Amino acid sequence: MKQKRSFLDIVLLLYPMRLHYKIQHVWDILYSHWIRHYVGAIGCNSMIGRGSQLHGADHVFIGNNSGIGRHSILECWSNYGKTVYSPSIIIGDNSFIGEYCHLTSARYISIGDGVLMGRFCYISDNNHGTVDFKSLQLPPVQRELYIRGGGTSWQ
């Protein structure tokens, strides 16, 4: 006796999971080509996942064969409040920043060559104020950015 195929079975035959992943990859490639015009520099074969947010993208430099996972946030603050900063985020060759990661720079963040970063990582070279009594009386969004040291490097 021949078994009837359900509508879902037919859909799965016409649109298998492998095809879905290939289409998603093509969309990521198209997104990367579109966004590369806004980034400071992006190397060969590097990709930026769809849904990523880039604030101050002209201060972001990505090496060759590197990737930024979907829905990541890369922020370079050239000014915040009344203060002007010189930020940069530099990502080396053959590195991958996982999905939903957040990198925020007011001075300098460097991710070296061959770094693999998992999902949901947060790296910052700044804070909203210090822990003194006067600073803590203000809401965080009203505090000046506090930068300690020369920047953050991950090798």
**Scanning the structure block, which residue is given the tokens 């999902």?**
119
Residue 1 lies in a domain: no
Q: With H, G, I as helix, E, B as strand and everything else as coil, classify residue 90.
A: strand
| 96 to 1, 10, 17, 110: CA distances (angstroms) | 52, 37, 24, 13
Residue 64 lies in a domain: yes
Residue 45 lies in a domain: yes
Query: How many CB atoms are closer than 10 A to CB 115?
Result: 17
Q: With H, G, I as helix, E, B as strand and everything else as coil, classify residue 51.
A: coil
pTM: 0.83
* Domains identified in the chain, total number: 1
Residue 53 lies in a domain: yes
Residue 1 has a pLDDT of: 59
Give residue-wise pLDDT tens across range 2-34.
677 788 888 888 899 999 999 999 999 999 999
Where is pLDDT greater, at 146 or 61?
Answer: 61
Give residue-wise pLDDT tens across range 93-149.
999 999 999 999 999 999 999 999 999 999 999 988 888 888 889 998 888 888 876
Residue 2 lies in a domain: no
Residue 102 lies in a domain: yes
Instruction: Find residue 127's DSSP bridge partners.
Output: 146
| 10 to 1, 5, 13, 39, 122: CA distances (angstroms) | 19, 7, 5, 43, 43
